[in-house]
Amino acid sequence: MYDKSLLAKGTGLSLGVVALVAMLVLHTGTAYAVPLAGVGGFTVKADEIRGQDAHIYVGVGDTSEKQAIPVGVTELESSEIEGLKLIKELSVESLPGLSGDAKMVISGTGTVTTGNQILKASRIQADQAVLREQVIDESPASDPNDRFTIDAQGNASAGETVDPSLSSGKPGLVLKNATINAHYLATNRISIPGQKITIQYDPDDDGTYEQQYGQ
């Protein structure tokens, strides 16, 4: 759908805030250290995600807990995100002087905007999902990524069963009150107004993060 070579060049170490998360947690020896539903991951929450020209298919991804698991891959030409929070919980037992777990929360104010984006996730949940100009297609393609695809183009300009005049100018994919168990997130551009990074600390590993830093 997109020129992945150009996206890879623009991505570098992937999404800037995710790269920062990786740098800060690599001291534990793994970027995604705490299992979630047995496969690891980090959580992305948002009040609303609006994605232009969505392309969804089944792919493969690695996590801290397992290698090569099937994931849902969502490609977006661009997106707008309201109420973004990126959350990563990880064990800090191996760090000198620490015990229990830590939680990093990255948030922003206002509308977050991105360019081309690729998301790999094992679970996406939303109170409401809207797909405009949706096309679900199955084909005997040699590439497994192309055998079953979902497209939501919004202001689509092609497609045998869609009328592009019905939703011109509107995003193809809208998720409201979304929670995503993600394993990979990359974009060639992101703008986060009022970005804030906070660290929460649960020294006795009882599930309550008693200490907070960066408030």
* pLDDT tens figures, 56-104: 888 888 776 778 778 888 898 888 899 999 998 888 888 888 888 888 8
What are the counts of helices (DSSP H) followed by strands (DSSP E) for the chain?
2, 14
pLDDT band for position 150 (cuts 50, 70, 90): confident
Task: In whole angstroms, give the CA distance from residue 35 to residue 179.
Answer: 16
Task: In whole angstroms, give the CA distance from residue 176 to residue 125.
Answer: 9
pLDDT (0 to 100) of residue 215: 67
Among 77, 75, 104, 66, smallest CA distance to 88 is for: 104
pLDDT band for position 39 (cuts 50, 70, 90): low
Do 185 and 89 contact (CB within 8 A), yes or no? no
CA atoms within 13 A on the CB side of 105: 16
Residue 17 clears pLDDT 50, i.e. is over it: no
Structure-token pair, residue 42: 């980090």
pLDDT (0 to 100) of residue 7: 42
What is the helix (H) or strand (E) element at residue 198, kind and residue range?
Answer: strand 196-202
DSSP 160: T
Average pLDDT rounded to a whole number, residues 27-45: 51
What are the pLDDT digits (tens) for 169-185? 678 888 889 998 888 88
